[in-house]
Amino acid sequence: MKHYLTPISILVLALSIYCGCRMLANEWKQDHFIKQDAAASIRSVLDRGVQKPKLLMTADEVAVYLGINTEEVQQLGPIANSSGVTSELPYIQIGNQIYFSKMAVDEWISKQGTVIVP
């Protein structure tokens, strides 16, 4: 009887290792497919045109946002004069490009009563 216990215990150990590996592999596959499904659904949402809102806008985008034309935005934006640069609208300059923060423009609008564009 003792003679058969060693091969039987080796066989049981091998089957246990095999079953454990199969269970881990199946769990990994399910997790992998779930991640792929999540990535595919995110891609499909982005492909449908759902985008993050822009934090910085160009003068053209501010004009559309405010419902005015670009020339009026340029008049409200940074203007160089003898004492430096003045601007009705808060702006950010990055290199040679002028950007307007959406949050700052919203705050500027809420603080203004009536704005007269020169």
The reply to whether 104 and 61 lie within a common domain is yes
**pLDDT score for 86:** 81
**pLDDT score for 35:** 63
Average pLDDT along the chain, 118 residues, taken 10 residues at a time = 75 81 70 64 64 81 88 86 82 89 88 68
The reply to whether 44 and 66 lie within a common domain is no
**pLDDT score for 50:** 57
Tokens at 68, concatenated: 């005015």
Question: SS3 for 81?
Answer: strand
**Which domain covers residue 87, as residue numbers?**
56-111
**pLDDT score for 116:** 64
The reply to whether 93 and 60 lie within a common domain is yes
**pLDDT score for 74:** 87
Whole-angstrom Cα distance, residue 97 to residue 94? 5
**What total number of domains does the chain contain?**
2
**pLDDT score for 84:** 79
Q: What are phi and psi of 25, to 5 degrees?
A: -65, -40
**pLDDT score for 19:** 77
